[in-house]
Structure 1
Amino acid sequence: MPLSDPIRYGANYVPSAGWFHSWLDLSLDAARRDFEDLASIGLDHVRVFPIWPWIQPNRALIRQRAVDDLLALIDVAAEFGLSVAVDLLQGHLSSFDFLPSWVLTWHRRSLFTDRGVRDGIAAYADRLARAVATRDNVFAVTLGNEVNNLYPSNPTTPEASTAWAAELVDVVRSAAPGLLALHSLYDATWYDPEHPFHPADNVDLGDLTTVHSWVFNGVSAIDGPLGPATVGHADYLVELAAATSLDPARPIWLQEIGVPLPDVPEAHAAEFVRRTLDTVTANPALWGVTWWCSHDLERSLTDFPEREYGLGLFTVDHRPKPAAKELAAIIGERRRRTGERRPALRCDVDLRTEPGRRAEVAPGSAFHTEWVRLRQTGPVAIVAGDRAADPGHLTTRGIDTVLTQE
């Protein structure tokens, strides 16, 4: 898949009124007002999240009314020149899990290992992928939002997790061959040595790699809201993904990134956006950036973690926040930089074959610390040890020198 030029910029769509509960009584006029906000700052796409159990409340029932609502929302996005990526399994959103009753309580069974559940999900994925493929402004289908968040209540193994995702990617590809089929995982897949979803899944399955960069994972504690480890975290994840892939030309989508309180105080939000994007947009593997999220969360809704209320580019009454204004300015400036050569730091942990060593590259590790130090003087790639001597791999990734960790 070719990289886009200029880099694509979008937002993960969180409705300004009613959060995702708004799917229960969808207002297209409200969606129009939200999409008008996003188009006004130059964004070109949105990632949308239909709620799985409200579409498939029974394993044998997929509600056409709910499918039609999703298509109507996609059509409204088109009115504002926005292309759309659709996530299938919600799944997990902002600390809440949405699972159908047919996998809960007396029907308790794992999404990832139970054959009947997997068949039900495959039917759902096929139906929605075929439906959204009828819309010209849809460009991608992701299996779900950070599906690895669901594993504590849905037991799985690395082998089952891989087979589950590979099967569903094939379903989406068959149903919608003109769309990107993608797999989405949060960063435990890169850093937690016990996590049952492995880095290789992220770089082998689907048509491009997705990464989600959140500095509340401990990285902001290293050097503060504007420190080099914090503002470089998105670039670090993109590099880990590029180093893990056997395909040196595989694009990487920064599918989620945001300004979380209290890790990044509001006074530093605009500067965090500027420094983070200055760093990551220099990466030749970057396909696009999708901000989390479009709109703040209404204070009238309860029980969310505090940081979830203020992650929007816009307030609930449609005022652009400092992050939105800075992002708009950056979109006006950015074109893809090509042809620049850079050094790479050799990583002796090959995440695709040694997932049990993931802690050795986690934020605060010796390897991460050295990469952050080097990155302060300019772009620095990461290359896995067995590919550090492959001239073709290095050339494709724009690497001219391989450095070793001090």
Structure 2
Amino acid sequence: MSTPRSAIEAVFPRPAGTPRFGVNYVPSRGWWYSWLDWEPSAMAADLRAVADLGMDHIRIHCLWPVFQANPGHISGTALARLHSLLDLADECGLDVSVTVLNGWLSGFYFRPAWQHGVNLFTDPVAVAAQLDLLAAMAERIAAHPRFLGFDIANEPNVLAHYAGNDITTSEGDAWTRRLLNHCEAIAPGRMHVAGFDHEPWLTDSAPFSREILARTGSATPLHAWIEFTGALKRYGYPSTATHHLGEYLLELAKAFQSDPHRPLWLQEFGAAPQWISEDAVAEFTESFTAAALSCDQLWGVTWWASHDIDRGLAGFADLEYDLGLLTTENQVKPAGRRLATLIDRLRQQPPTPATRTTALLLDDTRAPDWTFAERFFSLVDEGVRPAIVRASHQDDAEHIAERGITKILDL
């Protein structure tokens, strides 16, 4: 089940055809441990700073053990704070996507203790508890004017690699479909998604099919990290691959969507100065965004992250501390200034997506690895902005025509 694009646009329209711009919110005080040490005044200041950058939405992250420490217990305090956070966002004009089963976040695994030895994707008690948590959240916030929708989990494919969570692709797909259908039933008409990272798209090692990612829920979210995909190590910076990775993943997703008008969401990307220089981070952020904006059907762009992490919090990988557009004191960093200028310009003169009449043919029997991606990047270097078509669709005249494709290359 999926929500029609027209319904999404009616509730959360894109202004004048411009994609929505937002951030993955990381609280400046206490990271997401702030669900426990609640400081609404600090969050209000954070969100005002986010809105001042020109952002119109945030993606937030619930810590699963905090919200559901026991399968039969959902924290009323946490639910009240979730509603309060949406109220704070409303004061700043920000819509909110609520990511629930976290799960996996900023390099840490937050599986609730009661799930020890339990497969969170197939165990009936575990899955029932997940449905209960979503329902309890919907009861509290589904009618809130700033509630964009649920993201069922952050990068759940990562959790599938932990001991005890082994599943088949059919089981992974069934879990994804069941939770997203449940979200639509308890909060109809909202933008419900599953925030998988690049792994299911670029490899066959994750037990979730590309078809389920591209056809279930309200939109197709993409996480396009130049470091974690391996693009930066393989191609260096600057390179066509690092500037156009997001564009490539968005076009790859289109090849698996049955609806050519289904919204796409560039839900996560960013860069740390540990990977490229601080000056390069600002330049990269703008160029990567500009390349993604060449794709049609792009609903929104959501950077990671709003704020740096306080270095007084120990244990995070070094790169995690410096991913913000804002410092922990709400000072705008160079990348944040660059983006604020870009957003203002784009809202005055909305971008025109590239015309993609040429498509690369993707072999259905192989994962779209770097060899295939390099063909895409080489065409970009030649001045061509390609689409991607699966071999199983190349003889579907209606599909090809609806996407505006006139030439298919089997390189």
TM-score range normalised by the length of the shorter chain = over 0.9
Are 1:199 and 2:210 an aligned pair? yes
2:358 aligns with one of 336, 339, 344: 344
Q: Which amino acid aligns with 1:117?
A: A
Contact 2:264 2:300 in 1 (8 A): yes
CA shift for structure 1 position 336: 4.6
Residue 145 of structure 2 is matched in structure 1 by 136
Residue 362 of structure 1 is matched in structure 2 by 369
CA shift for structure 1 position 168: 0.8
| SS of equivalent residue, structure 2 residue 160 | helix
Are 1:218 and 2:227 an aligned pair? no
Contact 1:339 1:398 in 2 (8 A): no
Q: Which amino acid aligns with 1:388?
A: Q
Are 1:242 and 2:243 an aligned pair? no
1:150 aligns with one of 149, 156, 159: 159
Residue 293 of structure 2 is matched in structure 1 by 281
Residue 126 of structure 2 is matched in structure 1 by 117
CA shift for structure 1 position 275: 1.4
Q: Which amino acid aligns with 2:369?
A: A
1:233 aligns with one of 245, 261, 272: 245
| Separation (CA, whole Å) in 2 of partners of 1:190 and 1:403 | 21
CA shift for structure 1 position 318: 1.1
What 5-or-longer segments of structure 2 have no aligned partner?
none
CA shift for structure 1 position 99: 1.5
Residue 32 of structure 1 is matched in structure 2 by 44
CA shift for structure 1 position 202: 0.7
Residue 86 of structure 1 is matched in structure 2 by 98
RMSD of aligned Cα (Å): 1.6
Residue 410 of structure 2 is matched in structure 1 by 404
User: Residues 328, 400 of structure 1: CA spacing in aligned structure 2 closer, same or farther, 3 A cutoff?
Assistant: farther
CA shift for structure 1 position 237: 0.5
CA shift for structure 1 position 263: 2.6
| Separation (CA, whole Å) in 1 of partners of 2:335 and 2:273 | 13
Contact 1:341 1:399 in 2 (8 A): no
| Separation (CA, whole Å) in 2 of partners of 1:70 and 1:34 | 16
Contact 1:342 1:401 in 2 (8 A): no
| SS of equivalent residue, structure 2 residue 36 | helix
| SS of equivalent residue, structure 2 residue 21 | strand
CA shift for structure 1 position 395: 3.5
Q: TM-score, normalised to structure 2's length?
A: 0.92
CA shift for structure 1 position 337: 4.3
Contact 2:295 2:354 in 1 (8 A): no
Contact 2:295 2:353 in 1 (8 A): no
| Separation (CA, whole Å) in 1 of partners of 2:394 and 2:275 | 35
Contact 1:346 1:385 in 2 (8 A): no
Q: TM-score, normalised to structure 1's length?
A: 0.93
Identity %: 33
1:259 aligns with one of 261, 264, 271: 271
What 5-or-longer segments of structure 1 have no aligned partner?
none
1:295-353 CA-to-partner distances (Å, cap 9, x unmatched) read 00111111111110100010111111111111111111225545753233332323xxx
Aligned pairs, number:
393
| SS of equivalent residue, structure 1 residue 239 | helix
CA shift for structure 1 position 242: 0.4
User: Residues 21, 340 of structure 1: CA spacing in aligned structure 2 closer, same or farther, 3 A cutoff?
Assistant: closer
| SS of equivalent residue, structure 2 residue 62 | coil
User: Residues 368, 381 of structure 1: CA spacing in aligned structure 2 closer, same or farther, 3 A cutoff?
Assistant: same
| SS of equivalent residue, structure 1 residue 342 | coil
